[in-house]
Amino acid sequence: MARLSLARLQELNDVLDDRTPDELLCWAEEIFGSRLAIISAMQKAGSVVSHMAARLKLKVPVVFVDTGVNFQETLDTRDKIAAAYGLTVHTLKPAKTMEEQTAELGVLYVSVEGQKQCCHLRKVEPLLAVKGHYDCFIGSLRRADGGRRGSCPIIAVDPEMNAVRLNPLANMTDEQMDAYIKEHKVIVNPLHEQGFSTIGCNRCTTPVLPDEPKRAGRWRHLGPWAQYCGINPTDMDDSTSVAIDLPQDMVDRLLGQKTDFMI
């Protein structure tokens, strides 16, 4: 195994920054093969990534965390995408239902500390069930989302999952994404049409007004809107010292140290 830190990915990030989403997705499949998965919360950008993967005929599954308190529209979007795009969707669930969790710990999401605990129990821990199955997760973070995502890297490391995170849409603007959705008639979560700029659990997500920040509808009841659930590590930690362990040959190929193809 070889150690791979975010700092070691900086040069690669500079190169990948000029690549199109299609090029990045094909490159990722070439590097990671069957150790690659899309992670989607069934929001607009996740739908776009899923559509791109299907259009490029990539054999990549989609991982979806069902917190047990998702909107029905989100679950319906998952099912429609799986059927229409021929993608395998793996649904991961928390160990306890929300009712069981509430009976044991109370209503966590009404306080800042409780929200962190609840998101960890219902989002981060379920994802850990597939730790070791994949070496790269394709996400859908975009710099146009602003906040902490305003400078999200194309490629990062996820120490908790011991995997790489790839964001092929990092440079995609809102206008480009809407144009892609229109051109390809991408299946999107209908809640976006109802004023939800981002979509999470039904307990903690509201629509936003036109002049509000995109994430104003997330944990609105807790006050400041610069909050994230922790399922995307680059939302939480920009330290360049974080690192993961991957097979040496994969690290060599990733960093171009033993290149037998061009990107």
Residues noted as catalytic: 229
The strand pair at 243-246 and 2-5 is best described as: antiparallel
CB atoms within 10 A of CB 56: 13
- The order of strands in the sheet holding 163-166 is 89-92, 62-65, 36-39, 136-138, 163-166, 155-158
Binds ligand SF4 by CB under 6 A, chosen from 169, 201, 231, 251: 201
36, 38, 119, 155: residue in contact with ligand SF4 (rule CB under 6 A): 119
Comparing CB distances to ligand SF4, the nearer of 6 and 45 is: 45
Binding mask 21-60 for ligand SF4 (x = CB under 6 A): ----------------------------------------
By beta-carbon proximity to ligand SF4, the closer residue of 13 and 206 is 206
109 binds ligand SF4 (CB under 6 A): yes
Q: Say whether residue 118 binds ligand SF4 (CB under 6 A).
A: yes
Stretch that binds ligand SF4, among 48-56, 84-92, 197-205, 208-216 (CB under 6 A): 197-205
* Residue 229 near ligand SF4 by CB under 6 A: yes
Among residues 27, 97, 87, the alpha carbon closest in space to that of 57 is found at: 87
Tell me which of 50, 77, 115, 197 binds ligand SF4, using CB under 6 A. 115
Task: Enumerate binding residues for ligand SF4 (CB under 6 A).
Answer: 67, 69, 109, 115, 118-119, 122-123, 200-201, 203-204, 229
